[in-house]
């Protein structure tokens, strides 16, 4: 009744996707299953990662010690992301929900109501993470639910190369080598029979994981169509460079929209990793380097996803599976869930087409919902430069159009299956980018207006006070080396 278990897994590509995959599989798969990684030159990690708090859960499963990881990857803390240049005002989306439910009604309805009557401040003024981040301050969340510090959550900024080194160190039993892919040999049924490397070595495995940047393996299989999303997301290049650190970098990833695209700044220990996303046919690489102020590595980007990220005995994880302009601050999220779902639907040696079908459904949903968040930022941008105007020629997905219409109507956040971003994140993004509902929840009116005014004013003061009492980010990093 039981089927033949996997005896061997080969991960081709390496890099962040390859090593996250290998490290997780090494934890979970029985010792009898061999795991090999082939690091290809173009898979080498570059630049920095701006991650969500959920990635720390993944590290927990790997037994990756946080201080050690932060040291190895020049890590800094991340309380959220700041967006400037997108609309008239900049805003911060913090990793703590704003405010609190009052009288059973979501906070943003109270904020809208108080705002209609007078002074309510910015929505982010009610998010401790956002306020602290703007002040350049950081503290870990409190375990005491009565403390306002318990609303905090944090992600990390990691140097990609250092992160891979840390992952390698936890993946003890994984056998690794460098090599270049010369040929992908297919069996008559379309499955991968072997990958032949440039030096002639033939890699055979029950399961191949494609973590190459361009999908060399999955692209060779018959079933690997690519859904292109480059109209709504127009940037097809990233220029990467590192600049001198700031004395006290805010625990934030900063995204600044400019005429040519957008700039991202990620603070690392010892320097800031900056990136420019732009469109190659509107801005030359040279012009991109000029904007960044010096030499920069150029990386190609292809917004979209595979129709099927798992076909036959080949699973694509990371850029081979899907690519998005990294403007949500959710780097490594699709890898984390790609690996997690692979483990949950682990195939047998003879293949599991039904598991693959379910995997493809889940990964497609997840990508599409994260893509909607990225597309939304373009839709909401108040810019008319050629690149920005071009992005608006694409109609948003029906799912995004509905979600935005629902929020505009009455502040309702529609959540679909496999959303990376939950209600609070969408509210912060909508309101931050200037989308205001036409009306607030009538049930908010149960609270007498003067009480609502006073409650919000008090909350704002409390949060500001708590943020000001937190250590500077630079000091927090020194204290937790």
Using alpha carbons, select from 423, 325, 435, 436 the residue that is nearest to residue 374.
325
Tally of CB atoms within 10 A around 342: 24
Instruction: Output 2 or 384, the one with its CB closest to other proteins.
Output: 2
| Shortest distance in whole angstroms from residue 223 CB to other proteins | 19
| Shortest distance in whole angstroms from residue 56 CB to other proteins | 17
**Count of alpha carbons within 13 Å of 268, Cβ hemisphere only?**
26
Instruction: Output 449 or 476, the one with its CB closest to other proteins.
Output: 449
In angstroms, rounded to a whole number, what is the distance separating the alpha carbons of residues 326 and 299?
A: 12
Instruction: Output 156 or 313, the one with its CB closest to other proteins.
Output: 313
| Shortest distance in whole angstroms from residue 327 CB to other proteins | 24
In angstroms, rounded to a whole number, what is the distance separating the alpha carbons of residues 80 and 16?
A: 22
| Shortest distance in whole angstroms from residue 347 CB to other proteins | 8
Instruction: Output 31 or 294, the one with its CB closest to other proteins.
Output: 31
**Is residue 135 packed enough to be buried (19+ CB in 10 Å), middle (13-18) or exposed (0-12)?**
middle
Using alpha carbons, select from 300, 20, 37 the residue that is nearest to residue 179.
37
In angstroms, rounded to a whole number, what is the distance separating the alpha carbons of residues 458 and 149?
A: 16
Interacting residues with other proteins (CB under 8 A)? 1-3, 5-6, 28-30, 61, 104, 116, 343-346, 348, 352, 354-355, 357-358, 402, 405-406, 409-410, 412, 414-419, 439, 441-443, 445-446
Instruction: Output 34 or 355, the one with its CB closest to other proteins.
Output: 355
Query: In which order are the strands placed within the sheet that holds 237-243?
Result: 91-94, 80-84, 252-258, 261-268, 271-278, 237-243, 297-300
| Shortest distance in whole angstroms from residue 137 CB to other proteins | 34
Instruction: Output 28 or 100, the one with its CB closest to other proteins.
Output: 28
Instruction: Output 284 or 409, the one with its CB closest to other proteins.
Output: 409
| Shortest distance in whole angstroms from residue 479 CB to other proteins | 33
In angstroms, rounded to a whole number, what is the distance separating the alpha carbons of residues 24 and 234?
A: 33
| Shortest distance in whole angstroms from residue 353 CB to other proteins | 8
Q: Are 19 and 209 spatial neighbours (Cβ–Cβ below 8 Å)?
A: no
| Shortest distance in whole angstroms from residue 148 CB to other proteins | 25
**Is residue 15 packed enough to be buried (19+ CB in 10 Å), middle (13-18) or exposed (0-12)?**
buried
CA dihedral sign of residues 304, 307, 308, 312: negative
Q: Are 248 and 50 spatial neighbours (Cβ–Cβ below 8 Å)?
A: no
Instruction: Output 30 or 63, the one with its CB closest to other proteins.
Output: 30
């Amino acid at each position: 009744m039981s089927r033949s278990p996997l005896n061997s897994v080969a991960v081709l590509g390496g890099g962040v996707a390859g090593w996250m995959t290998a490290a997780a599989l090494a934890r979970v798969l029985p010792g009898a299953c061999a795991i090999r990684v082939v690091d290809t030159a173009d898979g080498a990690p570059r630049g920095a990662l701006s991650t969500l708090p959920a990635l720390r859960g993944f590290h927990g499963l790997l037994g990756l010690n946080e201080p050690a990881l932060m040291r190895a990857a020049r890590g800094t803390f991340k309380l959220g992301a700041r967006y400037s240049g997108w609309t008239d005002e900049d805003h911060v989306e913090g990793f703590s929900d704003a405010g609190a439910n009052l009288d059973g009604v979501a906070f943003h309805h109270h904020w809208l109501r108080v705002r209609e009557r007078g002074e309510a401040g910015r929505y982010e003024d009610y998010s401790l993470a956002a306020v602290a981040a703007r002040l350049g301050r950081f503290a870990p969340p409190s375990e005491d639910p009565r403390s306002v510090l318990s609303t905090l959550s944090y992600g990390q900024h990691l140097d990609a190369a250092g992160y891979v080194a840390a992952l390698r160190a936890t993946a003890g039993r994984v056998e690794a080598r460098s090599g270049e892919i010369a040929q992908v040999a297919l069996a008559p049924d379309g499955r991968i029979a072997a990958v032949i490397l440039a030096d002639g070595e033939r890699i055979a495995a029950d399961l191949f994981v494609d973590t190459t940047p361009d999908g060399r393996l999955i692209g060779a299989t018959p079933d690997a169509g690519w859904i292109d999303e480059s109209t709504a997301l127009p940037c097809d290049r990233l220029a990467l460079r590192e600049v001198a650190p700031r004395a006290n970098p805010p625990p934030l990833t900063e995204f600044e929209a400019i005429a040519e695209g957008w700039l991202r700044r990620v603070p690392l220990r010892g320097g800031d990793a900056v990136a420019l996303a732009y469109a190659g046919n509107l801005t030359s690489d040279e012009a991109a380097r000029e904007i960044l102020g010096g030499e920069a590595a150029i990386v190609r980007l292809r917004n979209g996803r595979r129709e099927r990220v798992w076909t036959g005995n080949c699973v694509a994880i990371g850029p081979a599976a899907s690519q998005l302009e990294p403007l949500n601050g959710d780097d490594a999220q699709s890898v984390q869930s790609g690996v997690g779902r692979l483990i949950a639907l682990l195939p047998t040696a003879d293949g599991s087409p039904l598991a693959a079908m379910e995997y493809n459904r889940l990964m497609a949903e997840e990508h599409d919902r994260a893509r909607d968040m990225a597309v939304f930022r373009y839709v909401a941008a108040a810019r008319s430069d050629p690149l920005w105007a071009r992005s608006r020629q694409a109609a948003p997905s029906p799912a995004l159009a509905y979600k935005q219409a629902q929020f505009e109507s009455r502040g309702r956040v529609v959540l679909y299956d496999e959303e990376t971003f939950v209600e609070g994140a969408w509210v912060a993004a909508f309101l931050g980018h200037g989308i205001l509902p036409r009306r607030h929840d009538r049930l908010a009116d149960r609270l007498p207006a003067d009480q609502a005014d006073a409650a919000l004013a008090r909350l704002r003061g409390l949060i500001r006070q708590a943020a000001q009492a937190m250590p500077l980010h630079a000091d927090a990093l020194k204290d937790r080396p």
